[in-house]
Structure formats: C-alpha cells, structure tokens
Structure 1
Amino acid sequence: MRPLWVAAWACALVLAWCARPAGAAWCIARSGASEKTLQRALDYACSPAGSADCAPIMPSGLCYLPNTLAAHASYAFNSVFQRAREAPGACDFAGTATVTLTDPSQ
C-alpha cells in the first residue's frame, strides 16, 4: 500500500508543478555573491554554452538600465532559466543565483 501512496504523492507533485502558470518563478542574482563570481556567471550565461538572450542588456538594449552587474546577471540568469522551462538545477550559476516567486520587475 505504501508504494501506491508514494506514487500518488509524486504524481500530485508533478501535476502541481506542471499546472503552475508560465513565468511563475524567476531566477535572479543571489545577494551577497561576489562581483568576480557574478561576472563570471554572467559571462557564462551570455556565452553560446549558456544560451541566454543578452541583447536586451547591451548598451542599446531595452533592459540595459539599471546598468548594474546584479540587474544584468539577473536578466541573463532568468533568460536561461525560462528557456529551460524553470527546470530544477537551471538556476544555480555556481551558487550566484536563486529562484524567487516574486516578480523582480515589480
């Protein structure tokens, strides 16, 4: 009987995760991350391996302002996170990122 309960619980978790509205979680720069580590993580996120769309945080981009390392890193980290469909583990960036359920643009 116990395996059935565990399977039902696991299924409920998966359904709850899938039923969340898209964009219900964001990946942002972790406060307290060192600038050096954050810059390396941003560079990775904006590289072909990281796959973030970093054009909007370039000087002529719509999301360039505020021009801070934390804001640009948060944008790039979230770009990767959303492309990965908020997959577990997609928001780490060597410990410089964290998931939030609060819209950071508000």
Structure 2
Amino acid sequence: MIFVNVMIEGATHTWCVAKKDVDHESLLNALNYACGAGANCKPIQPKAECYYPNTAQSHASYAFDSYYHINNQADGSCDFGGTATLVQSDPSYRGCRYPSTF
C-alpha cells in the first residue's frame, strides 16, 4: 500500500475528513481502525459533543481528524484506505470543535 501526503499550498490549517463518495462499509471499517489506533473517539460517543449528526460520515470525519493530529500530520495519517482527504475548511460545527494544524 502506498501512502501519499498531499500538501495544500499556502494552507495554515488543515483537517482530515471522510470523503463524501465512500461506501458505508468502507467508512465504518476506517472509523473502527482510527478509533482502535489511537484517535480520540470520546467526542463521537452517545451524548458527547460531536455525536450528532449520528452518521458514519460525521463520526469518521472526527475520528480521522483526531488520528491525523495525534500523529502530527505524518505522511499517510490522512488516508484510511482511500476514504479520507485533507481540506482547508474547518468542519467544526455547533459545540463540536475539530483539532487543526497550526
């Protein structure tokens, strides 16, 4: 498996989120991997600040970004078998704050 770290030119902040066109099963597998490999998944547990919307897309995005930042944005830390991508727009919402690169 080859991992490629995409550098977004001129970006001061980046977030790792789930791609929109990924099938549900692949997204769940990647989400489970991220949570099992050290991502902080407490905020996406029931009644936590990032639980809603209660979708695999939303939960995977939070877990992917947590893993990405816990691993200091290392090469390959935002891939998850092709289910993730880097973005420049903060995916945080309401009371749910995503980590960011500074």
Smaller-chain TM-score bracket: 0.7 to 0.9
| Correspondences of 1:5-20 after superposition (within 5 Å) | none
Alpha-carbon distance between aligned partners in 1 of 2:26 and 2:70, rounded to the nearest angstrom: 22
| Correspondences of 1:54-93 after superposition (within 5 Å) | 54-93=41-80
Q: Secondary structure at the match of 1:86?
A: coil
Match of 1:43 among 18, 21, 32: 32
TM-score (norm 2): 0.76
**8 A contact 1:25–1:86 mirrored in 2:** no
Q: Radius of gyration: which is bigger? A: 1
The aligned amino acid for 2:17 is I
TM-score (norm 1): 0.74
- Which structure shows the higher helix fraction? 1
Instruction: State the partner residue of 1:25.
Output: 14
Runs of at least 5 residues in structure 2 that lack an aligned partner in the other structure = 1-8, 94-102
| Correspondences of 1:86-105 after superposition (within 5 Å) | 86-105=73-92
Q: Which runs of 4+ in 1 moved over 3 A?
A: none
Runs of at least 5 residues in structure 1 that lack an aligned partner in the other structure = 1-16
| Root mean square deviation of aligned Cα | 1.8
Instruction: State the partner residue of 1:14.
Output: none
Alpha-carbon distance between aligned partners in 2 of 1:76 and 1:31, rounded to the nearest angstrom: 15
Alpha-carbon distance between aligned partners in 2 of 1:65 and 1:45, rounded to the nearest angstrom: 19
